[in-house]
Amino acid sequence: MSPRETRSGRASEAFFGRRKGKPLRSGQTEALASGLGTLGLDLSGPAPDDLRRLFSAEVTRLRLEIGFGGGEHLLHEAATHPDTGFIGVEPFVNGMAKMTAALERQPLANIRLFNDDATLLLDWLPAASLDGIDLFYPDPWPKKRHWKRRFVNAANLDRFARVLKPGGRFRFASDIDTYVNWTLLHCRAHGAFEWQAGEADWHTPYEGWPGTRYEAKAVREGRPPAYLTFRRA
């Protein structure tokens, strides 16, 4: 059964909201179709045992960014670390269109893309295949009745633990205090993740952090971000 066919049975795992925003311009539509045709991952077959084969660049490390939004961080990291292969997940069509347009202007051979539910990709990836997972400013689903839709939960931490190599890093950033506390509590309860609290003040951005437009807005509105790092035990 293909990932698309299993989607109906995974409705409770819809961690994102709307799929589309403003109508795309013709150039964006063309870049999206072309970019996904070239860089999009096809989950209909098994994943390669060695994920480095997914990239035309020679890479030695592999990282996943879930929900890259406008792509500021992912593009910066991929350009800064050409020896690392990056898989970017973004189900929001407008964000993916912006990413594919940027890659059309400045191609990067160490990026692959997936435009659907990240849990499908996590279940497709081989065990112990990733060096890092980034989850930055995910939808906080602030209403209590929606907390079950927060991406950080026991089931997804199981997924992270399966695909991360021992010593691999899970990084989480948010400007929502309740979601930061939620993540700390869930990672502590899970047992496979050690919070690296001693590495840096958790309100200090990661080394080389380029910032994002969403983050700048949060700071302007008086919501200081937190930057958490967990190590796969």
Q: What is the mean pLDDT of residues 165-172?
A: 98
Residue 7 resides in a domain? no
- The answer to whether 214 is a known ligand-binding residue is yes
Pairing assessment for the beta strands 193-195 and 226-232 based on DSSP bridges: antiparallel
Would the pLDDT of 226 be above 90? Answer: yes
Under the banding of pLDDT at 50, 70 and 90, the label for residue 134 is very high
Under the banding of pLDDT at 50, 70 and 90, the label for residue 8 is very low
**Model confidence over 44-53: pLDDT tens digits?**
999 999 999 9
Task: Give the span between the Cα atoms of 197 and 102, in whole angstroms.
Answer: 35
Residue 141 resides in a domain? yes
- The answer to whether 77 is a known ligand-binding residue is no
CB contact at 8 A, 16 and 138:
no
CATH number at residue 216: 3.40.50.150
Q: If we measure between CA atoms, which residue out of 119, 123, 125 comes closest to residue 150?
A: 119
Residue 6 resides in a domain? no
Residue 98 resides in a domain? yes
Q: Which one is catalytic: 131, 134, 139, 201?
A: 139
Q: Give catalytic status of residue 134 as yes or no.
A: no
- The answer to whether 65 is a known ligand-binding residue is yes
Residue 2 resides in a domain? no
Residue 156 resides in a domain? yes
Give the global pTM. Answer: 0.89
Would the pLDDT of 214 be above 80? Answer: yes
- Please tell me the total count of domains within the chain: 1
For 120, the domain range is 29-36+47-232
Q: Tell me the β-bridge partners of 62.
A: 85
- The more confident residue out of 74 and 199 is 74
Residue 18 resides in a domain? no
Q: What is the mean pLDDT of residues 168-190?
A: 97
The pLDDT, as a whole number, for residue 35 is: 78
Q: What is the mean pLDDT of residues 98-114?
A: 95
Range with lowest mean pLDDT among 30-39, 54-63, 69-78, 197-206 = 30-39
Task: Give the span between the Cα atoms of 61 and 163, in whole angstroms.
Answer: 13
Would the pLDDT of 21 be above 80? Answer: no
